[in-house]
Structure 1
Amino acid sequence: MNDVNVFNAEVTYQHAEEKAAQYFQQLENLIVEKTFDQTLIEDFLSWKVNHIHHPGVFSLFTRKKQKPSTKMYHQYIQWLNFTNKLESYLDRSISYLYLRDLGKQLNHPETVEKIQTEVERLKHQLLDSSNSTNQDMFSLATLFRKAQKEGIELTFVWLMNKLNEVANNIPDGLDAVNARRKLIKIIAGVLMHTLDQMDESVPAKERTEKLDKAIRLGYSYGLTYPFVDDLLDSQLLTEDEKIQYSEIIRIALITGDVPNLGEQWSAKSLAFLQYIHGELREAFEYIKRNQTSSSLHKFFEQAYVFFNSQEVDRRKKLTNAHYTNEDIYIPIILKSASSRLIARSVISVTEDDGFEERTFLYGIYNQLADDFADMFDDLKDGAVTPYTYYLTHHHDRKDLINPFELYWCVICHLIHTVYESDARTREVILDRAINGLKRFKEKHGTQKYSEVMKLFASGLPQFNKVLQKMVDNADDVDFFDKLLRDRMIETLKNDKEDQEQFKEKVKSVRERLNLLLTIQEDSKLTLFDDSIHEAANYSLGNGGKRLRPIITWFTGGELYGLNETSMLPLLKSLEYMHTASLIFDDLPSQDNASLRRGHKTVHEVYNVATAELTGLFLTQRAIEEQTLLQYPAEVVLELIRYTAQMTANMCKGQLMDLESKGARLSLEQLNTMCFYKTGLGFEAALLMPAILAKANNTEKELLKRFAKHAGIAFQIKDDLLDVEGKTAGLGKQSGIDSHNNSSTFVTVLGMDQAKIEMWEHYCLAMEVVEELPRGASFLKHMLNYLVNREN
């Protein structure tokens, strides 16, 4: 137990509750006084000058360039720039983040300067991105390039591995897309706090260290959202298991030590809890190691307040008609404030004057806005929020505070009391509020929106009249973080769906190939055993990823529109050649491997001579298959000529590998050997269908470039797996490169630099894909598979 972490949880939470109760009493008094609505009407009368525009000459001029949907991300950015709205759009967006996430005062000169600098930086970045088809803010290649500029490539590699692990281990029943989004959002929030503390005077090395730490701390804290909040809100655990799991979290926060998971779980729950518990424990220990004594104590106090207020809310039942207004609102004040205070505390930065107080008072505004947006989903799930509770019980409970009225009361209090009627703050907060109502109306439709307003806004008829005019007519209230959120969700969702469809296609093609690869025995050999056919079918039938023919299938079918049936001889040919190369590789005179594709190698089952002849036999069968292609003779001849050249060059690559054993290769030599040994195999899979389709030389050269970098990325991943992987998963012995004293990317560069080199070639290959004149999304999916595979 770490004594510095121990604190009196009951007293800490009681003090927090008392503070929240005082704040709620202030708000309740304002509700009773019923004066905030008149103040807000006056605010809107001033605010509308910048947001309700009458048609003019410029609007006629721009009519031809109508406002695109925000779903059309790049077009929307270009439209904002064309209409001279981009700077004001970014200004209010960044100002809002400084207000909400960093707890800043928008009228402070230093904050104004920082916002202006960030607006200019982001403007240039967005315009460069939206004017180029080669860039996407959320692509892995773009993110890796940004990480390179900051010197945090290894942090990027670490984070990608972690995010993939979470996606692969998140249990069915939790939203994997939103889990990933929330993690990224929390990491971005912690990064914001870190960047806010740095300026150009910070040395590059220190900046790199701080950014690395911020990303790891952000991930560590962010894990609590999917693996604590979402899990406890779900139906994956029984009620008893939820109590058990909550107790583990509570003990960890109070004592500073994570209890063991224990065994009192159902087999179904234990299957996913073991990973979750292990990952949370690792994150918990990382946060502890990277705090000062004072910040660690503060972190645990705030984390406990956040967790316990969530638990109080979680235990509420919508059917209970007896909760008081304090029961409903005080936990919301606590959890909404503490969640943002934690993000600041984990990086141990010096707080601005008034930061904690402003953040505490601000939180409920954001929470009420979110609860309004999600009220129907929450109602469906039976969750108790101010809106769902009011919807359910307002007929019988006239004492209940209307949450919509309280929301506007909070806005008035923030603008005129907390931020002292600052015009810039008023502008941003009212922008955000109207934007939220517009989005709600767009999502649910006019009729549903009118029903909601009739219920929640009827007590403020004069204010509501002004409000609805703003909602109907006001413009320029969109926010960049909302655009990013929508785009991120869409991107993650589409990527997940596309990748799943891609995997299904790969599986389907692999299954069809497996049925076609068996070679019929020679009926003329009646006096002898046909060991060569038997050995060939043994090797072909022992599984395998069938990567090369699958790449050819996608390239021919999706890139060039070739008929699948017409390509079958080529697909068989590729797998025959590849299998032959593996048989040769495994021979005692070469790699001397005893295991391939999870089975004994051919020379182990038969003998060396049979293995050698079987490899030669499959090579010749591959050429024979190519002669069966029903394409013009000159095209087939070109294909066979190319095959012969590639086979000869790949033999050179294998010899380079053999002769390099025991030698210390340079990176340049290793890249050359890898290209000949592995890259050319990928090139052949891409170029062969291109030859059949009579593709032009420009496309062929692009495919060659892609194959070179994809092949090297694939080989580096193989080398990493040889060190990190397990024999059962790989289908061959792990550590065989080390046993053979072979030069690999790991031995030449080391593990960390090898990972960076893999991502470098990943980026180079992705950049080639963007240059291809035809749609080649399957190449992106294939590349993602190559670098993220586990075997």
Structure 2
Amino acid sequence: MNEELLINADECYRLAGQKAAHYFKTLSEQVMQQAYVPTLTKDFQAWKQNHIHHYSILSLFSRKRGKETLQGYRHYIQWLNYTGKLDDYLDRSISYIYLRDLGKSLQSGAVKKKIQDVVESLKEHLTHTKDEEDSSDTYNMAGLYRIAQKEGVELAMIWLVQKLKMVSENIPEGLHAEHAQRKLIKIIAGVIMLELEEMSGQESPEERTEKLDRAIRLGYCYGLTYPFIDDLLDSKILSSDEKRKYSNLIRITLTTGSVPELGEWRGKNADYIRFIHKELREAFEYIKANQRKETRTRFFEQAYVFYQSQEEDRNKDLSNEHYTNEEIFLPIILKAASSRLIIRSIISAPMDEGYDSRTFYYGIYNQLADDFADMFGDMKEGAVTPYTYYLKYHEKRPDLINPFELYWTVIFHLIHNVYHSDPKTCEVMLDRAINGLKRFKERIGTGKYNEIMTLLTSGIPKFNRVIQKMVQKADDVDFFDKLLRDHMITLLKNERKEQEEFRDTIKTVRNHINAYLPILRNEKTAILKNPIIDAANYSLSGDGKRLRSIIAWAMGVKEYGLSQSAIIPLLQSLEYMHTASLILDDLPSQDNASTRRGRPTLHQVYHTSIAELTGLFLTQKAVEEQASLESFDVKTVLSLIQYSARKVQDMCEGQAMDLESAGKILTLEELSIMSFYKTGIAFEASLIMPAILANAKESEIAILKKFAYHAGIAFQIKDDLLDVEGDEFVLGKPVGSDAEKQRSTFVTILGIEEAKKTMWEQYCLASEALKEVPQNTSFLKHLLNYMVNRDH
């Protein structure tokens, strides 16, 4: 236990509670007096001049048609730019981020200048993207890695990709995976934004890179608490006893500064809890190690306030009708403020009284807006929020404060007391409020919306008419972060769906191919008891990935529309050729491997001569199958066989290069050429042979070859990395064999870190090549992701 990090938890929470109680008292008095109504009514009178426009009948029709034809993120940005609305749209969006996420005052000249610079830069990016580019380019892995390269934080990005993959794979069914991923990404982005804002601009490139690298990792470490603490404790995955035990571990960690041992944990959640404990411990230790001494205590205090307020909120029961207004609202004030204040202390930013106070007052505004948007889902889950509690008990409890009225009171208080009636702040906050109501109305429907508004505004009918007029008629109140959020959710859902389809395709086609691979004996071989067919079937029956034949199936059937039954000989030939290459590669005269696919290699089960003959047998069997492609014209089949023969020659040359290189130090260029000949050519063949059968254009074949070249090298680099970092049990073969044989690999030439960067560079080049492929490239995109993220 580190005494230096001990905090007085009870005193810390008591002082925070006093501050929240004072703020809530101020708000409560304003609600009771309805002091916000005349002032905000007047504000709306001025505000509507820029948001309620009078159009001619003709312009209304064209305007309506314009918006109805908008489909998706990119189209909407283009429409805004075309109509001249993009500048204002981005200005209010960035201004709101400076208010909400960065705790800034929009009255500051320096802040205004920064907002203007960001708007201009963002507009340049959004409007100068080529039309033919996928609208998700900026948000896919290749696009993000390119950004990371510019900032010199490639290793942090590689680390983050691995971590996000791991989290995604370990989100249980009871939690919302897309929500968890989006929340994590949002928090990481928030920490990076705050770090950038804290920079003076005088940092050297090395200092900037170091700070951004740390911000990425800190953002992930902090963000991890949402799926693995907040969401987990809110869910029904853990039992009541498990929740108590788990909560106690967190409390001990925050009050002592040390993560306790997990101890014995039984039941169906044991493995999951052990995994989470390990990841959270690593994250916590990283945050603690990167804390400055002068901000460390503040971090633990804010973290404890956040955790404890969450616990108080979480442990409420909607069936209890006796909670006071303070019990309902104080934890919300505390958790909403502390969740944002933590970020500043995580990056060890110095104390800023203005930031702290603005953030403290601002937090409840966002929380009430979120609770309003989620009220029906929360009610279904039985969660206690100001809205669910008011909806259930407002008739029994006239003393309850109406959360909708409190929401407008907070807006009034922020605009006129915290931000001193600043016109820009007023504009942005009213934009946001009306936009939230518009989105809510659109989501739940007019009937349900009117019903809930009647209930929540029964005490402020005149003000409600003002609000609803704005909701009905006001334009230009939408925000980029909401568009981005919706776009990201769509991308994550599509990505998950595509991944599932990719995995299903792999599994289905693999089983399909496996059924056609065994070689049957003819009458002559049965009489002579020839061992070659048994040897061939032994090698073919191993637990192979069948990637090459699966790629050929996906390209042939899915993309080119070839008959599945017609290309079966092609799929067989690819597996026969690949298996032959493995048999020969494992021989004592070559790699002298002892295991392959988790089993003894063929020359150990039989003997070297049989293994050599089996490799030759399978090579010729592959040619026989290619010659059996009866559904295609003779010229096309001959072209395919010619191409296949050349590729086998190239692969032999690649293997010869590999053998000759043993004990020699190769250059990166030599290794890249050798790797492509050994590995990339097989991927190329899987893409090109179906294209040949489909009579694809030469230009398209050239693009596929370009993709195969970069994907093949990325695949080989991953193999080299797995030989150093992989799990022997998962790989099915010993690790460290390359070093033992003194063989040049990307790792031995570049080192682990540079090898990873080179792999991702090849990934980006392959990904960028896919944009030029005219077919649907979803399968190839996920194949590429699999290549660099696999563990075997």
Kept in 2, the 8 Å contact 1:532–1:613? The answer is: yes
Does residue 295 of structure 2 align to residue 307 of structure 1? no
Residue in structure 2 matched with residue 232 of structure 1 by the alignment: 233
Separation of aligned partners in 1, 2:348 and 2:727: 40
Q: Is the 8 A contact 1:77 1:130 kept in 2?
A: no
Contact map agreement 1:92 1:479 (CA 8 A) in 2: yes
Distance 2:488 2:52 in 1: 30
In 2, the alpha carbon distance for the partners of 1:42 and 1:516 equals 77
1:502 and 1:778 in contact (8 A); partners too? yes
Deviation, 1:71, is 5.4
AA aligned to 1:168 is E
Structure 2 counterpart of 1:742: 743
Give CA-to-partner distance per residue, 1:724-769, whole Å, 9 cap, x none: 1122211222211112211111111111111111111111111111
Write the distance in 2 (CA, Å) between the matches of 1:129 and 1:701. 25
- Conservation of the 8 A alpha-carbon contact between 1:78 and 1:130: no
In the alignment, the residues of structure 1 paired with residue 127 and residue 352 of structure 2 have an alpha-carbon distance, to the nearest angstrom, of 33
The runs of 5 or more residues in structure 1 that have no matched partner are none
Q: Distance in 1 between matches of 2:721 and 2:583?
A: 22
Does structure 1 residue 73 correspond to structure 2 residue 73? yes
2:280 aligns with 280
1:443-498 C-alpha deviation (Å, 9 max, x unpaired) = 00000100110110111011000100000000101111111111111101110111
Cα distance change of structure 1 residues 80 and 228 upon mapping to structure 2, 3 Å threshold: same
Deviation of 1:554 (Å) = 0.6
Partners of 1:599 and 1:328 in 2: CA distance: 62
TM-score, normalisation: structure 1? 0.98
Match of 1:84 in 2: 84
Residue of structure 2 in register with 1:778 after alignment: 779
CA distance in 1, matches of 2:752, 2:583: 29
Closer/same/farther in 2, CA of residues 526 and 124 from structure 1, 3 Å limit: closer
Q: 1:29 — aligned with what?
A: 29
Which ranges in structure 2 are unaligned for 5 or more consecutive residues?
Answer: none
Q: Which letter does structure 1 place at the counterpart of 2:405?
A: E
CA drift of 1:589 comes to 0.5
Deviation at 1:63, TM superposition (A): 4.3
Cα contact 1:298–1:345 (8 A) shared by 2: yes
Letter of the aligned partner of 1:42 in structure 2?
K
Query: Shift of the alpha carbon at 1:615?
Result: 0.2
Change in 2 beyond 3 A, CA 1:438/1:526: closer
Could you say which residue in structure 1 is the equivalent of 2:438? 438
Aligned residue runs from structure 1 range 484-503, under 5 A: 484-503=484-503
Task: Write the deviation string for residues 49-93 of structure 1: whole angstroms up to 9, x where unpaired.
Answer: 111111159947964970257751110000010011111101100
Count residues in correspondence: 790
1:245 corresponds to which residue?
Answer: 246
Contact 1:653 1:677 in 2 (8 A): yes
Partner Cα separation in structure 2 for residue 37 and residue 761 of structure 1: 60
Q: Which moved more, 1:244-253 or 1:520-529?
A: 520-529
* 2:336 counterpart of 1:332: no
Give the superposition deviation at 1:720: 0.8
RMSD: 1.3
Q: 1:215 to 1:255 in 2, by over 3 A?
A: same
**3-state SS in 2 of match to 1:260:** coil
Aligned partners of 1:100 and 1:359 also within 8 Å: yes
Structure 1 position 271, deviation (Å): 1.4
Letter of the structure 2 residue corresponding to residue 169 of structure 1:
N
Q: Does 1:536 align with 2:548?
A: no
Which amino acid is 1:405 matched to?
Answer: E
TM-score (norm 2): 0.98
Residue 583 of structure 2 corresponds to residue 583 of structure 1: yes
Partner of 1:182: 183
Seen in structure 2, the aligned counterparts of structure 1 residues 475 and 698 have a Cα distance that, compared at 3 Å, is same
Give SS of 2:542's match.
coil
CA distance in 2, matches of 1:422, 1:71: 36
Report what 1:111 is aligned to. 111
CA contact (8 A) 1:292 1:348 kept: yes
Quote the Cα distance in structure 2 between the aligned partners of 1:281 and 1:69. Answer: 49
- Please tell me whether residue 647 in structure 1 is matched to residue 651 in structure 2: no
Query: Shift of residue 529 of structure 1?
Result: 2.2
1:700 matched to which residue of 2?
A: 701
Distance 1:654 1:128 in 2: 46
CA contact (8 A) 1:375 1:388 kept: yes
1:223 maps to 224
How far 1:269 sits from its partner (Å)? Answer: 1.1
Residues in 2 aligned to 1:200 and 1:647: alpha-carbon distance in whole angstroms? 56
What's the CA shift for 1:568?
0.3
Q: Which amino acid aligns with 1:15?
A: L
Q: Deviations over 1:109-138 (max 9, x none)?
A: 010000000001111111123634156221
Residue 523 (structure 2) aligns with: 523
Structural mapping, 1:325-724, within 5 Å: 325-630=325-630, 631-724=632-725
What is the percentage of aligned positions where both structures have the same residue?
59
Query: The residue matched to 1:266 in structure 2 has which SS?
Result: coil
1:22 is matched by which residue type in structure 2? H
Deviation at residue 232 of structure 1 after TM alignment:
0.2
SS in 2 for 1:354: helix
Deviations 1:177-211 (A, max 9, x none): 11111111100010111111225432100000000
Moved more, 574-583 or 68-77: 68-77
For 2:501, the aligned partner's letter is: Q
Please, which moves more after superposition, 241-250 or 527-536? 527-536
Q: Is the 8 A contact 1:69 1:76 kept in 2?
A: no
Paired with 1:431 and 1:527, the residues of 2 have a C-alpha distance of 86
Counterpart-to-counterpart distance in 1, 2:611 and 2:740:
22
Deviations 1:528-567 (A, max 9, x none): 3220000000000012000000000011112211111110
CA distance in 1, matches of 2:69, 2:5: 50
Given that 1:316 and 1:384 are in contact with CA atoms closer than 8 Å, whether structure 2 keeps it comes out as yes
Amino acid at match of 1:99: L
